[in-house]
Structure 1
């Protein structure tokens, strides 16, 4: 009987890339929200605020997907 419980390197790299994207979004989202809130009298206030919140939500989603992908690479059984 062959043991197939080794880490899938391709899936692991995919998960680490997702976490890297998450790290970028974690800095970019709050920065844009801060810029929007500092310039509330400008015409781009609402679009920048919406963009910043969407980037923050994207960071949370990418964090979840990245961790989930890394765990799948370690613990998921191969057929």
Structure 2
């Protein structure tokens, strides 16, 4: 059982993309909830939800890629 190093590196890159988004998304959403009197409240909230969703996507994609690199059967 050999580890596919290129696939493992790709999975780690996905996790590294998700790391800053895990902090930026909730911070943007918090900013939107604090500034409810602003006209751009809904747009900022939508951007924060999108960034948080993107973080979740990259996390799942990274973990799936890493598990494929470690446990993929060679045929």
The TM-score normalised by the length of structure 1 is: 0.89
Counterpart CA distance in 1 for 2:44 and 2:18 is: 19
Aligned residue runs from structure 1 range 1-79, under 5 A: 5-79=1-75
Question: Which aligned runs of 4 or more in structure 1 are off by greater than 4 angstroms?
Answer: none
Higher helix content, 1 or 2 = 2
User: Which ranges of structure 1 fall in alignment gaps of 5 or more residues?
Assistant: none
User: Which ranges of structure 2 fall in alignment gaps of 5 or more residues?
Assistant: none
The TM-score normalised by the length of structure 2 is: 0.94
Paired residues, number = 75
1:63 Cα shift? Answer: 0.7
CA RMSD of aligned residues (A): 0.9
3-state SS of the aligned residue for 2:69?
Answer: helix
State which structure, 1 or 2, has the greater radius of gyration over its C-alpha atoms: 1
Q: Deviations over 1:11-48 (max 9, x none)?
A: 00100010011111100100000111111111110000
Counterpart CA distance in 1 for 2:45 and 2:74 is: 44
